[in-house]
Structure 1
Amino acid sequence: MEANLEVNVKRLAKEETQEENGEMELLYGVEDSPSFFISSILGFQNVITAFGGIVAVPLIIAGMAGFGVIDTAYLVSAALLVSGIVSIIQSKGVGPKAFRVGVGLPTIMGTDFAFIGPAAAVISTGGIAAYFGGTMLASLLEFGMSYFIKPLMKFFPPVVTGSVITLMGMTLMSVAMEWAAGGVGSATYGAPINLGITAFVFLIIAMVNHYAGKKFAPLAVLIGAIIGYIVCIPLGMVDFQQVSNASWFALPQFFKYGISFKWEYALPFLTGYLVTIIESVGVIQTLGQVTKTEVKNEDIAAGVRADAVGSWIGPVLGSGPAATFSQNAGLIPMTRNASRKVAITAGYIMILMSLFPKFATFVSIMPMPVLGGAGLLMFGNVAAAGIQSLSRVKFTNRNMIIVAGSLAVGLGVSFRPEVTASLPGILGGLFSSGISAGTIVALVLNIALKEKEIVEESIA
């Protein structure tokens, strides 16, 4: 008993020391292997966090293609299937060193909004087959550029990476607030009941995360989401009719809608891939920060390659291009879970959900305000991780300008995206995202502003 007491005292002392130093102990490190039950619960928590982003793009694409209910449901199932497959590849890392695909850190993958703009033009010209073929061909650019990541990374010193991580969390806040209000297009957008549920879920997650201890703290988001979901049922905010209408089982099909390989369809998507490369580099650096893992240049390159490979797998099964999701990085510092096994388990859960549409629909009808409560905390954690990273940077006049410029432009574009909508060609694509716009500004300033040498003048 005395031995156990001594161990507990040492553990508590270690945690207090880490908190005093601005560090947080991970309950599960990258290499840790929680039990099957814990991995499944934590994995499902990741799926809930990413679900809205995963299904949003196929719903939009289905509308562009004029699909009915059955084909729309297939695109959603295909998106879940591909997200599961590529999340496993990205989290595990496969292949020999020179050609490795996957960063090897806990990562959730999904379809990206960067491809929505060019998709509208391509689908109107060549149909859904042109969209699939165009994204596959254009992904060759991303695959090729993954082998040039190493020389590019010298332009990403701590002041740039810290700015990008901070910006990533801050730009996601608008997404969380949209969820809190009820979701875009909601008839009750901004209603007090929505904001009340968001605040309720927010407090539950914060309290569980802080007070529940090692056993339940990692489950804070899931516990908050379940309680919020249950509370919303008697309030009439959950439509179970959609679950009744969904089919029980559905198998994936190869090339269901065909694929049209023409370079004219690929060109509009090149900008989208440049944006996702920039964002993926930022996400991977964020993952390194929150998982307390040293991320090497070859790891980042392997992560970018996973995006490209996923963008080939997706269209074959009826989904769009794959990209590394940033929102799930917020779960890691909040739940203190960085286990690779959990992310891989989440991948298998998404694969199973794609085969059973009723289950996927049950998750998809979760009220947006519930996700809003979770999103505010998760994305805030990403921003806090970036601020923690910047705290280690010496704030010279040069570094202050880099941080200020990056945040100003990145947040400005996020708040007013219409300002950059008229920029010509590739510029419009690169500055359509707050994350990519802020990253570009940080990179340009880092190159343009040289460090001043401090010259001490002696007084004669």
Structure 2
Amino acid sequence: MSSSDLIYGLHDRPTPGKAFLAALQHILAAFVAIITPPIIIASTLGLTHQLPYLVAMSLFVSGIASFIQARTFGRVGSGLMSIQGTNFSFVPILISAGFVLKGQGLSEEELLANIFGMTFAGSFIIIFVSFYLDKLKKIITPCVTGIVVTLIGLSLIKIGVTDMAGGFGAEDLGDIRHIGLGLFTLIIVLVFNVMRHPILRVASLVLGMFFGCLMAAVMGELSAPDLSHIDWFVLPMPFRYGIGFDFTLFIPIMVIYLVSVLEAIGDLTATSRASDEPTDGPVYRRRISNGILGDGVNCVIAAILQTFPCTTFSQNNGVITITGIASRYVGMLVGGILVVMGLFPIIGAVFQQLPTPVLGACTTFIFGTIALSGIRILAGVDFQRKQVITVAVSFGIGLGVVFVPEVLKDLSPMLQNVFGTAVSAGGITAMLCSLLLPGKEEAKVKEEDLVTSEDGAS
């Protein structure tokens, strides 16, 4: 995008009407991606009663985080229109940790207390790394990031497809009615995603859910939700579920926090480019460092208000290109709207009633695009022998522990927790290979290739 294509630059103030319309499009692009991770985590772990609050706080924290990034407070925040949202990368790790904690006999509140205690501690990894970004390059390389992001997408696809077939624990899992409804929804998402009109592409997931729910109603699979027991308005409550910690479960979470830093670098670089701002030099480097620091602070806020890690989104860069509005004041408005939405748990309760195959179809599409994003990152790597070995071994070990979980049966419970998922096993292997194997480091990867497409709307 050249400066002549931008209607409003980073520091321009659009008229209220244009600012509001631009803000709505950003919310449309990000809304589903913000609320889907808490829905998946809570539904998979059976946290039905906590789901409305978790969804509400995801919106609330995303609003605060987006405002911080756009407004900046000292060194905290990039100063770009960088919309923040719940990070999909943590979904498989947190679900795995949740099942381990349930197996230990913890209550739902104790389970969440431990998860949020670990995400609280992990947030300080991002804060620390923001001051030493140059030192990270030898460990978290584009090759390592591509491996981890690909494994995240591949490991999540099982959840999406299971939901399309009826959901975990469903007695009629695989029923043709579930499969048909899921495929119908997926086709609707794909149809709108390939249309020429940019607004329809941005709204493809929302429209897919809408028409999927209509079809579910026709099939008799959708009933009016009972909202009588749901609070319509709630104020955020710091440490609502308490705080705990499990070191063995924390190690794989650390890996994802490190990888999220490199993802954020790509996201912020793409935002700078879309906003016609520098992508090199001291201004750019300061924005990247401050933006990463903002991600860390925002993750701390998320853990305190008891929702899942909140980091920089990428799909909103496409909205900047579509609208020609890169004003950070619009980013602040987006933050304000999300904060207001987050005060109403009723929103989460309504989305909780989505037919499982409809949600599964949308998330399957999202997870596929995450895996594709990892492949795109790897495609930009200058492959030497070191990188070939790293990818081969990391995928082999990461996918191997999923396909043949019995290989871990003689390990201690601590090591089983650490290496029990594709993301943790593959990610740790990739970082060790990157650090220990001799050979030339990869080069010439484009920063924007590090951007992950959480909702396929980029």
TM-score (norm 1): 0.70
Residue 238 (1) aligns with residue 222 (2): yes
3-state DSSP of counterpart to 2:342: helix
Q: AA paired with 1:367?
A: P
Return the index of the structure with the highest Cα Rg.
Answer: 1
CA-based RMSD: 4.7
Give the 3 Å change call, closer, same or farther, for CA 417–55 of structure 1 in structure 2. farther
Which whole-Å CA distance do the structure 1 matches of 2:344 and 2:365 have between them? 30
Shift of 1:181: 1.8
Show the counterpart of 2:357: 369
Residue 214 (1) aligns with residue 198 (2): yes
Give the 3 Å change call, closer, same or farther, for CA 128–270 of structure 1 in structure 2. closer
- Of 326, 331, 339, the residue aligned with 1:351 is 339
Show the counterpart of 1:165: 149
Give the 3 Å change call, closer, same or farther, for CA 144–425 of structure 1 in structure 2. farther
Give the 3 Å change call, closer, same or farther, for CA 303–61 of structure 1 in structure 2. farther
- Of 88, 96, 108, the residue aligned with 2:74 is 96
Give the 3 Å change call, closer, same or farther, for CA 308–249 of structure 1 in structure 2. same
Show the counterpart of 1:23: none
Give the 3 Å change call, closer, same or farther, for CA 225–130 of structure 1 in structure 2. closer
Show the counterpart of 1:280: 260
Residue 108 (1) aligns with residue 85 (2): yes
3-state DSSP of counterpart to 2:227: helix
Give the 3 Å change call, closer, same or farther, for CA 105–52 of structure 1 in structure 2. same
Shift of 1:439: 2.2
- Of 431, 439, 443, the residue aligned with 2:419 is 431
Which whole-Å CA distance do the structure 2 matches of 1:227 and 1:79 have between them? 27
Which whole-Å CA distance do the structure 2 matches of 1:102 and 1:409 have between them? 40
Show the counterpart of 1:385: 373
Question: Structure 1 residues 45-54 or 224-233, which shifts more?
Answer: 45-54
Which whole-Å CA distance do the structure 2 matches of 1:407 and 1:43 have between them? 35
Residue 443 (1) aligns with residue 431 (2): yes
Shift of 1:297: 7.6
Q: AA paired with 1:164?
A: V
Residue 187 (1) aligns with residue 157 (2): no
Which whole-Å CA distance do the structure 1 matches of 2:146 and 2:436 have between them? 18
Give the 3 Å change call, closer, same or farther, for CA 324–195 of structure 1 in structure 2. farther
Q: AA paired with 1:116?
A: G
Residue 322 (1) aligns with residue 305 (2): no
Shift of 1:223: 1.5
Show the counterpart of 1:151: 135
TM-score (norm 2): 0.70
Which whole-Å CA distance do the structure 1 matches of 2:185 and 2:435 have between them? 44
Report if aligned partners of 2:66, 2:82 keep a CA contact under 8 Å in 1: no
Q: AA paired with 2:135?
A: P
Show the counterpart of 1:43: 27
Which whole-Å CA distance do the structure 1 matches of 2:378 and 2:161 have between them? 25
Which whole-Å CA distance do the structure 1 matches of 2:315 and 2:389 have between them? 27
Report if aligned partners of 1:181, 1:190 keep a CA contact under 8 Å in 2: yes
- Of 207, 225, 245, the residue aligned with 2:209 is 225
Give the 3 Å change call, closer, same or farther, for CA 390–321 of structure 1 in structure 2. closer
User: Residue by residue, what CA displacement relative to the aligned partner does 1:109-165 show, whole Å, maximum 9, x if unpaired?
Assistant: 268553536765696699589649944873475244544443122334443333333
3-state DSSP of counterpart to 1:154: coil
Which whole-Å CA distance do the structure 1 matches of 2:8 and 2:412 have between them? 45
Shift of 1:196: 1.6
Which whole-Å CA distance do the structure 1 matches of 2:307 and 2:26 have between them? 26
Which whole-Å CA distance do the structure 1 matches of 2:64 and 2:108 have between them? 29
Q: AA paired with 2:260?
A: S
Residue 405 (1) aligns with residue 387 (2): no
User: Residue by residue, what CA displacement relative to the aligned partner does 1:369-391 show, whole Å, maximum 9, x if unpaired?
Assistant: 22232233333233333333333
Report if aligned partners of 1:201, 1:373 keep a CA contact under 8 Å in 2: yes
Show the counterpart of 1:6: none
Which whole-Å CA distance do the structure 2 matches of 1:349 and 1:188 have between them? 40
Give the 3 Å change call, closer, same or farther, for CA 146–123 of structure 1 in structure 2. farther
Which whole-Å CA distance do the structure 2 matches of 1:87 and 1:423 have between them? 40
Shift of 1:416: 5.3
Which whole-Å CA distance do the structure 1 matches of 2:406 and 2:355 have between them? 28
Give the 3 Å change call, closer, same or farther, for CA 191–398 of structure 1 in structure 2. same
Report if aligned partners of 1:246, 1:357 keep a CA contact under 8 Å in 2: yes
Which whole-Å CA distance do the structure 2 matches of 1:137 and 1:378 have between them? 26
Show the counterpart of 2:57: 79
User: Residue by residue, what CA displacement relative to the aligned partner does 1:354-373 show, whole Å, maximum 9, x if unpaired?
Assistant: 32233332222112222232
Residue 53 (1) aligns with residue 34 (2): no
Which whole-Å CA distance do the structure 2 matches of 1:306 and 1:132 have between them? 21
Question: Structure 1 residues 223-232 or 81-90, which shifts more?
Answer: 81-90
Residue 138 (1) aligns with residue 121 (2): yes
Which whole-Å CA distance do the structure 1 matches of 2:327 and 2:134 have between them? 24
Report if aligned partners of 1:28, 1:336 keep a CA contact under 8 Å in 2: no
Residue 201 (1) aligns with residue 179 (2): no
Report if aligned partners of 2:120, 2:304 keep a CA contact under 8 Å in 1: no
Shift of 1:348: 4.8
Higher helix share: 1
